[in-house]
Chain A
Amino acid sequence: MKVVPSRSSEWVRPVTPQKPASAIIEIDRVSQVFQTSARKDHVALSDISLTIEEGAFVSILGPSGCGKSTLLYIVGGFVSPTSGAAKIKGQAITGPGPDRGPVFQEFALFPWKTVLGNVMYGPRQKGVRATEAEAQSRALIEMVGLKGYENFYPKELSGGMKQRVALARTLAYHPEVLLMDEPFGALDAHTRTRLQNDLLNIWERDRKTVLFVTHSVDEAVFLSDKVVMMSKSPGRIRDVIDIDLPRPRRRNELLLDPRYQKYVVNIERMFDESDEAGSPS
């Protein structure tokens, strides 16, 4: 199911607490407190509740230090929340699992494995036969545009290519949810644009649920069905905005679309206002 599109004039919609039938991820009053020193606690996340529907592309947008990555790690099961709970398909998340595939800003490829070896790792771990895993992996490598680089080591690749491998490696074990942690944050502007386009094209094929962390307003609006705006210290959800723009999205059309421009300008203005207010709500 897709996010219900709102009327174009009504571009901001507050999050509705009702639980849709197609919810795949439910985050229920999650808080995360880090002990920075003996007496001082840092509240990274405060009372976050969020429901993500199956097949939706959801971005978590916020300034650095607002805990948006921490929220993603909690869904991934890499970090346990101090209080509250996250669920996937009604099951409490207690640790990482192949139903949630992470893609990190740092790529985190296995440097001792070739491109093919990296992509095959997940399927092999799942018990897929070597010949079959290889065939699937080769197809995925071609899909992310790296045909011919199967036997290269990560060290021999550029940042953009590494992130393509990381995406293919995660897609290879068929996670139900993609967890993308500022995946294009370490790339130059040109490469980032290309990867955004390619990610959307790949996503259009099966419309997997994506949770996408970013600090770029353009990126969030361009990619997402829904943008979750977060504010800083303590990390809170400020607003949830449905992005009612047609798909499949073409960059050259979208950038000229006044609706797109309006989303970007309005979201930026909302962040500016909360900065001026000093203490974000």
Chain B
Amino acid sequence: MISLAALARRAAPVLACIGLLAMWQVASIVLKNDSFPTAIEAIRAIPDILGDRESLLNILASLRRMAIGFGVAVLVSIPLGLLMGRSRSVAAFFNPLLMVIYPVPKAALMPIIMLWLGVGDITKTLVIFLGVSLPVIYHSFEGAKAVEEKMLWSGAAMGLSTAQRLVRIVLPAALPEILTGCRTGLVLALITMITSEMIARQSGAGNILFNALDMGQYDTVFAMIIIVGAMGICLDAIFERIRARLVRWSEPQFDMPLSFS
């Protein structure tokens, strides 16, 4: 049996969504602005978008770029971050480089990348890659740096080489921190995905959104905002499930030591 408190906890996000939509509905009725459709109008436009083959392919193309950009970024950034965290010389080389890149909005680099690589998939995927890399590198770096020296010594005494210690001790020990970076990276992937399609309009979810804006189809614009938002919530929820499973051993619910010497 589910307790009342647990039920309330589960219902809370749903209630929050309904509340938000209700406020939206009331606000748009009160404001009576053409460019601000009601929530119901926007929701009604969703099936039209998702039912349209062309739009669906656009959205899938966006997701594909996002998946590739995110995946490659994670595969490159984790090893780099871990190496930086354990080697002072690697950190000394990459740190200034990354400090220069960090505050630059990745979308601002897009016109230049477009000049070099065109307006196709590569450019957009590269921008997503850049957006995801930095938080993942940063968190991997911090995670690797914080690994207890004595843990590495224990591994060394068992005969693990430096490379083995990096893969078999530093990586798992830093995993909670790495996954925090990946979670931030996932949200940034979604953001850079949309902004890249805003700048290089050719295909994708962002393209549908901004085309509709140009044509004054405001219900479609808001429907797309809902779709993108829902995608973000779903991706984050899926990622959170995977993360919780991978780092079960570090979760605070276990933080109740047994009383026995």
A134-186 interface with B by 8 A CB criterion: 153-161, 169-170, 173, 175
Among listed B48-56, B102-110, B151-159, interface-contacting one = B151-159
User: In the complex the two chains form, is A76's CB within 8 Å of B172's CB?
Assistant: no
Among listed A43-51, A104-112, A200-208, interface-contacting one = A104-112
CB-defined contacts of B258 to chain A, threshold 8 Å: 156-158, 161
Q: Between A and B, how many residue pairs show CB distances below 8 Å?
A: 90
User: In the complex the two chains form, is A190's CB within 8 Å of B261's CB?
Assistant: yes
CB-defined contacts of A161 to chain B, threshold 8 Å: 257-258, 260-261
Give the number of residues in A that approach B within 8 Å (Cβ atoms): 40
Q: Which residue of A lies closest to B254 (CB)?
A: A155
Q: How far is it, in angstroms, between the C-alpha of A248 and the C-alpha of B158 when the chains are bound?
A: 30
- Closest Cβ of chain B to A8, distance in Å, is 34
Judge whether B250 is part of the interface by a CB distance below 8 angstroms: yes
User: In the complex the two chains form, is A158's CB within 8 Å of B259's CB?
Assistant: yes
CB-defined contacts of A194 to chain B, threshold 8 Å: 261
Judge whether B160 is part of the interface by a CB distance below 8 angstroms: yes
User: In the complex the two chains form, is B254's CB within 8 Å of A153's CB?
Assistant: yes
CB-defined contacts of B150 to chain A, threshold 8 Å: 102, 104, 106, 108
**With A106-B148, A158-B258 in contact, is A125–B158 under 8 Å at CB?**
yes
Among listed A24-32, A55-63, A92-100, A264-272, interface-contacting one = A92-100
User: In the complex the two chains form, is B257's CB within 8 Å of A98's CB?
Assistant: no
- Closest Cβ of chain B to A251, distance in Å, is 15
User: In the complex the two chains form, is A96's CB within 8 Å of B249's CB?
Assistant: no
Q: Which residue of A lies closest to B172 (CB)?
A: A112
User: In the complex the two chains form, is A191's CB within 8 Å of B157's CB?
Assistant: no
Judge whether B209 is part of the interface by a CB distance below 8 angstroms: no
User: In the complex the two chains form, is B158's CB within 8 Å of A111's CB?
Assistant: no
User: In the complex the two chains form, is B250's CB within 8 Å of A112's CB?
Assistant: yes
Judge whether A39 is part of the interface by a CB distance below 8 angstroms: no
User: In the complex the two chains form, is B249's CB within 8 Å of A112's CB?
Assistant: yes
B193-248 interface with A by 8 A CB criterion: 247-248
* 8 sampled A-B residue pairs with Cβ under 8 A: A97-B157, A102-B154, A102-B157, A104-B154, A106-B148, A156-B257, A159-B257, A170-B154
Q: Which residues of B contact A (CB under 8 A)?
A: 148, 150-151, 153-154, 156-160, 169, 172-173, 175, 247-250, 254-261
Other than the known A155-B254, A191-B261, what 13 A-B pairs have Cβ atoms closer than 8 Å?
A78-B153, A97-B159, A101-B157, A104-B153, A108-B154, A110-B172, A110-B173, A111-B173, A122-B158, A125-B158, A155-B249, A157-B257, A161-B258
